[in-house]
Structure 1
Amino acid sequence: MPNSVLPHLSLHLMRMGFRHLGPFVPHIAGYWACRLWFATRRSPIPAREDPWRNQARIDRIDSAGRPLARYQWGAAEAPGILLVHGWNGRGLQLGAFAAPLVDAGFRVVAFDAPGHGDSPGNSTHIFDYAQAIQRVAEHSGPLAGAIAHSFGVPAVARALLQGLSLPRLIAIAAPADAEFLVQRFAQHLDIPESVIAAMRARIERRFGMDIFVRLSTEAMLAGQRIPGLIIHDRDDRDVPATHAERLRHTWRDAHVIYTEGLGHNRILRDPTVIAAATAFLQA
């Protein structure tokens, strides 16, 4: 069966299973929903990323006994900027930032999170993600700042609570709260509320009853005194632009730039966005 058809068929079957069988066996369906919540998938790599990969110094570093793929551009002695991709993404998705930042005098560091890109595994969670960020930072010298995209933003926020030090942070297309992510997950797979409740119960037993409150991006950044730049597209269909204002309201040392017509991912390759990010990190 063609690869382009199989994912759609699998998604259709999962939706049917959750919708029609889930209400009768919510605990069993909740188990599978929980497995899918932590599961990652890799999308095809576009040709536009080839030059960014070819120009990078690529190696692997250890995080909790697992290797992480790391990419670096620029002089080894230059101050570092860490690039953090989102869920089901990869470090090279932010590769368009590399050359402009190197030209501005920075060293640029990207990596593939556990279960993403060239790093092994097929599942992860935010604590694992945050630990990986810390390990990359420890192995990559002094950092002058970070640029994070989508789920990468709450992962960085969690890493900050775990001891990561950053002089500046740029948050692109960031979700403001974990509850939104749960609802989007349920809508995408057509999961009934009884199954979501069972999934929540499993996650809360593992990580604590208030896990979805504690891992709200706006809550994690509320106490941080880090100069920040929030960039969000008004036409983002994955994370509505209202999330940017919510973050700005609680993250007092940040300001917002809105774009239009770029969506959730193309914003990472827009020259105006890259120029604004570079200028902020140079300030």
Structure 2
Amino acid sequence: MKYTNNKLYVIRWLENYSFIKMPEVFVYAGITDYWKDFAMKKMIIVLMTLSVTIFAGCATGENTVKIDPVMNINVPDNQKRVISVSRFEDRSIGTKDYAPWQQGIPDMIMESLGAIPYYKVISREYIVKKVLKEQEFQLLGATDQKGVVELGRLLNAQYIVVGSFSVFRETLQINAKVMSIESGEIMVQTSKQGKLDGFYTLQNDIAITITEGMNLAMNDAAKKTLLERHDTKVVEASLANYRGEEKLEKIQILENKAKVGKKADVALEVKKIKEEAKEDFKKALDYDSEYEKAKKNLSRMALAVPMTL
């Protein structure tokens, strides 16, 4: 092969960025219009591939809930449903005692779904980080359809679970529905009712019903394992822990607003809330000394480590 003025332009470099093999072509003194067009098409394919990769990566690593699976099946990442759970509405009448479960019940449902291999469940930690980064503070408390769909889009979720709960005497009822972020369609809707002290069973049952409603198979052994799963069986311990977690989330919001100049110095207020949160976690452990989540929250506060599920 002859070289013209030692100017050999090889377009093989595109092979480094895509999966399509380039032909054995060398173009002298520049790239012809034909190959410019070919190269442009190649780059479009590359960009589309990268876009898919970036989208899929939004719910991987530290962004998702990590729980030991209840089923021994291998589901490829690209086939998993990317799902999030929004804050639930407390519809209890005449009491605010169960308000911490507005985030507590969604948190427990996240973990139940996270134990089912069909899902990538976006963690609460990532939700808070993403919302604070975008300065969309109101979305953290969103319970209406418009707000939760907006939250789902912000998170690049495919589905989002919304719902409510109510406590009357010793009875707990949890209502939940799964919405498609793309279409707004309700994919699954369910309601579970049972004894208050069996709260952990109800939220596990919600996760099972969601899974079956999305036509995903669970065997009886997996259902049994999930229904028995719990962090604590003590109502008061659970409420105290989530009361503390709500305060830590409030601290993150205050500190973020202070950074962007939307609020004056918050050091004293933050210090006070931190002490209150510590007391909440200690109370949780007084009610249930084996409550691992409360233990972790208390130790993370001592080490100033961010909250994770």
**How does the TM-score come out when normalised to structure 2?**
0.25
Larger Rg: 2
Higher helix share: 2
**How does the TM-score come out when normalised to structure 1?**
0.26
